[in-house]
């Protein structure tokens, strides 16, 4: 999927964008509007607070962890698309303030 279309869908709230990397990786830079939800938390969760009708896109560093997250979330009945890794993201990246917890 086109990265411009992904960003537009996220900004229009048509899609929920989850970054499944670690907090440390997230602080180094993330796709705008992305919500940090590490794979380790997805793996240990028994329920999720996302609306079932919400489309969800997941990404990580290279696409491997987001693929795992996609499988888990789909088993819970969510509509999920793995958009791959941030290493291939060519649009803007936001930097997190390391002093904000």
Q: Is 60 a catalytic residue?
A: yes
The domains found in the chain, sorted by start residue, are 3-45+54-88 (3.40.250.10)
Measured in whole angstroms, the distance separating CA 58 from the mean position of its chain's CA atoms is 3
Catalytic residue among 7, 34, 39, 60: 60
pLDDT in tens, 45-84: 999 999 999 999 999 999 999 999 999 999 999 999 999 9
β-pairing, 15-19 with 35-36?
parallel
Best CA proximity match to 31, nearest among 81, 96, 79, 80: 96
Distances (CA, A) of 51 to 39, 45, 55, 74, 89: 19, 16, 9, 13, 27
Best CA proximity match to 79, nearest among 16, 5, 11: 16
pLDDT in tens, 15-54: 999 999 999 999 999 999 999 999 999 999 999 999 999 9
């Amino acid at each position: 999927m086109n990265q411009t279309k992904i960003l537009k869908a996220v900004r229009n709230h048509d899609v929920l964008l989850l970054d499944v990397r670690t907090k440390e990786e997230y602080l180094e830079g993330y796709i705008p509007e992305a919500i940090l939800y590490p794979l380790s938390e997805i793996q240990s969760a028994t329920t999720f607070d996302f609306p079932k009708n919400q489309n969800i896109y997941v990404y990580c560093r290279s696409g491997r962890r987001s693929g795992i997250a996609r499988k888990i979330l789909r088993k819970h009945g969510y509509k999920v698309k793995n958009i791959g890794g941030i290493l291939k993201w060519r649009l803007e990246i936001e930097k997190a303030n390391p002093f904000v917890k």
